[in-house]
């Protein structure tokens, strides 16, 4: 059979150095001298593409892989893949020997239906969702991260990108929609005493089409009426709608096989929480000693950047600092080696032992306007932007900040805002 392939459907000559091969459930190839691999056990779809007259096999497991068809070992690996997955060989060879820039899908994994629309109507969308455990458990949208982890209805896991997620182990009912899987992103370093900010899943009908999008669209247009023009867009390349539920946004998105996009046959469902949980921050006030706390005020307008929802170090402005500075931005230093920067109503607190340096970066006007940015570089190599202000507005505070906090303040060369 392989000889027949070669006779009737010639592969391009493999003129590029490299070594494409398959071992167990992985396909290995070279990308700019680095060996990369595709996890074939979770392969989602495959395309053949011509880019700048060069042929590629495009594979997607959990990220994009462009396999050069001119790299040595390609033809042998392709035949193994085609036999295993059932690629559309006729379309592959028609495309691979063309010089015209194009892409064509030659295979997509079969996804079984993972949701259903219930015959009975439910109207508790704004309240939360129901876990299909025994007994049933209703979870409010306002349930915090720390509360959710105590419910014992799922587990944390690491993704292929070493990101942590929480997976619910039971089907979930959201209004009149019953879905098999629901997850959320989890970071132990972020604020735990506010509601979960975003849930997600992908819904399939088993047809590898946009049928799932239109079914959810019809359901929610009936049960959560909205005006399409105000809720999103429906284009040939992508369709996206958000249904608002008193600060909870149910969003559905379907992407089609056009331009640089790929159609995986599923509708992305994202549930975003836009509700205000500032009370959980502003009602607690840090007690600072009036005798030992030092304060340095800024006599310039600065825009405070940290968000209380994503950063657990964001707190209410300590009352002592408010009394001393009134409405001005400031930095305080406490006798326990903690310090913080203030905004209009929030502040952010650090421990000096965790901070490597401060960075004051001026940006010169070009296509965009000029500005200054003050950031904190942590010893863990993380960066937190604290302020934006007018260009050069912090120049006179460089030495003061360094002496006040006992932390190095770096001032890199300005660059243009292109």
Q: What is the pLDDT of residue 113?
A: 96
Residues 6 or more apart from 60 whose CB is under 8 A from it? Answer: 43, 44, 45, 46, 262, 264
Radius of gyration of the chain from Cα atoms? 27
Residues 68, 88: Cα–Cα separation, whole Å: 18
C-alpha dihedral sign at 70, 71, 75, 77: negative
Q: What is the pLDDT of residue 258?
A: 83
Low-confidence ranges of the chain (pLDDT < 50): 1-5
Here the tokens at position 239 are 């369709």
Q: What is the pLDDT of residue 1?
A: 45
Q: What is the pLDDT of residue 7?
A: 53
Per the listing, tokens 């509708």 go with 267
Q: What is the pLDDT of residue 330?
A: 97
Q: What is the pLDDT of residue 3?
A: 47
Q: What is the pLDDT of residue 212?
A: 96
C-alpha dihedral sign at 120, 126, 132, 134: negative
Q: What is the pLDDT of residue 250?
A: 96
Strands 26-31 and 346-351: unpaired
- In this structure, the number of other CB atoms found within 10 A of the CB of residue 127 comes to 16
Residues 29, 408: Cα–Cα separation, whole Å: 45
Residues 166, 158: Cα–Cα separation, whole Å: 9
What tens digit of pLDDT does each residue of 293-344 get? 999 999 999 999 999 998 999 999 999 999 999 889 999 999 999 999 999 9
Strands 355-364 and 415-416: parallel
């Amino acid at each position: 059979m392989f000889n027949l392939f070669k006779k009737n459907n010639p592969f391009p000559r493999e003129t590029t150095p490299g070594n494409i091969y398959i071992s167990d459930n992985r396909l290995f190839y070279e990308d700019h001298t680095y060996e990369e691999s595709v996890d074939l056990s979770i392969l989602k779809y495959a395309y053949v593409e011509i880019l700048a007259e060069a042929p590629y096999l495009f594979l997607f497991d959990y990220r994009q892989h462009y396999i050069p068809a001119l790299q040595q070992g390609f033809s042998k690996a392709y035949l193994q893949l085609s036999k295993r997955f059932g690629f559309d060989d006729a379309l592959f060879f028609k495309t691979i020997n063309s010089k015209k820039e194009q892409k064509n899908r030659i295979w997509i994994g079969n996804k079984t239906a993972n949701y259903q629309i219930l015959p009975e109507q439910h109207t508790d969308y704004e309240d939360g969702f129901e876990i299909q455990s025994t007994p049933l458990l209703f979870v409010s949208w306002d349930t915090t991260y720390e509360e959710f982890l105590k419910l014992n209805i799922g587990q944390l896991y690491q993704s292929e990108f070493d990101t942590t997620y929480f997976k619910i182990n039971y089907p979930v009912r959201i209004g009149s929609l019953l879905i098999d899987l629901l997850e959320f992103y989890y970071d132990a370093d972020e604020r735990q005493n506010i509601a979960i900010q975003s849930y997600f899943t992908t819904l399939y009908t088993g047809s590898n089409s946009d049928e799932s999008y239109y079914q959810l669209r019809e359901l929610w247009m009936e049960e959560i009426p909205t005006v399409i023009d105000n809720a999103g867009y429906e284009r040939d390349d992508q369709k996206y709608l958000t249904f608002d539920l008193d600060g909870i946004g149910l969003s559905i998105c379907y992407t089609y096989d056009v331009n640089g996009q790929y159609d995986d046959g599923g509708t992305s469902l994202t549930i975003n929480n836009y509700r205000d949980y500032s009370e959980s921050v502003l009602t607690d006030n840090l007690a600072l000693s009036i005798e030992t706390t030092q304060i340095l005020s800024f006599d310039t307008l600065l825009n405070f950047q940290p968000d209380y929802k994503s950063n657990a170090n964001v707190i209410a402005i300590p009352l002592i600092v408010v009394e001393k500075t009134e409405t001005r931005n400031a930095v305080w230093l406490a006798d326990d080696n903690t310090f913080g920067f203030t905004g209009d109503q929030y502040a952010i607190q650090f421990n000096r032992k965790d901070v490597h340096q401060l960075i004051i970066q001026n940006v010169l006007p070009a296509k965009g306007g000029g500005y200054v940015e003050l950031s904190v570089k942590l010893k863990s190599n993380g960066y937190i932007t604290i302020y934006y202000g007018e260009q050069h507005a912090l120049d006179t505070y460089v030495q003061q900040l360094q002496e006040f906090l006992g932390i190095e303040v770096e001032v890199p060369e300005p660059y243009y805002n292109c």
